[in-house]
Each structure stands twice: as C-alpha cells, then as structure tokens.
Amino acid sequence: MSHSHTHTHSPEEKRAIVNRLSRAIGHLEKVKDMVERDNDCSEVLIQLAAVKSALNSTGKVILKNHIDSCIVDAVESGDHDALHALEDAIDKFVK
C-alpha cells in the first residue's frame, strides 16, 4: 500500500505530540518503579489506566491532525490508498 500523500504537520503539532508522548513515557516509568517497589496492585492498575488514557488521548490528537491535513490533501488529490491506510490504522487503534 502506497503512502503518496505529503505530511504537512506543523512544528507546533509535532512538538505537542512529542510532549504528550514524553509525559506518558515518564508516567509509565513511574508505574514500572511502583511494580519494582512492590506497591499495591490496585494503585499500579490505577496508574496504568492513566497511562492508557494518555496514550488514547495522544492517538486522538494524531488522528485529528492526520484527518485535518493529510486526509484532506489525499481526498483532494484522489489518493485512495491514503484513505485505506487510515481505515486500517483506525481499526488497529480502536482494538
């Protein structure tokens, strides 16, 4: 499957995504530390749920940015492969 559309994400969009991911990574490291310190399993699960929520939120931002820029460009240029790739990505993301 070809990805012929051009990515047109702004530096601000990229920076916002990287910042979100960095926070999620930091939070996940803390969860790992909690497990290593034998913290209460309920506390670990609650913090792990927070990490999952942060990742889902980041995925939604990426999806919105992708639709607003890449997919609009793909539709305008008739790039059906990009639309199929988006469908596949959504299927994997929402599993």
Whether the CB-CB separation of 23 and 54 falls below 8 Å is answered with yes
* pLDDT tens column, 62-79: 988 888 887 888 888 888
Give residue 39's pLDDT. 97
**pLDDT score of 37 more than 70:** yes
Q: How far apart are CA 64 and CA 89, in angstroms?
A: 13
For the segment(s) 11-93, the CATH number from 1.20.58.1000, 3.40.50.2000, 3.40.50.2300, 1.20.1420.30 is 1.20.58.1000
Give residue 24's pLDDT. 95
Cα→Cα distances 78→5, 16, 72, 75, Å: 10, 29, 10, 5
**pLDDT grade for 10, boundaries at 50, 70 and 90:** confident
Domain boundaries, given as residue ranges, for the chain: 11-93
The arithmetic mean of pLDDT across residues 72-90, rounded, is 86
The one-character DSSP state at 39 is: -
Tell me the HSE value of 52 on the side-chain side, using a 13 A CA sphere.
9
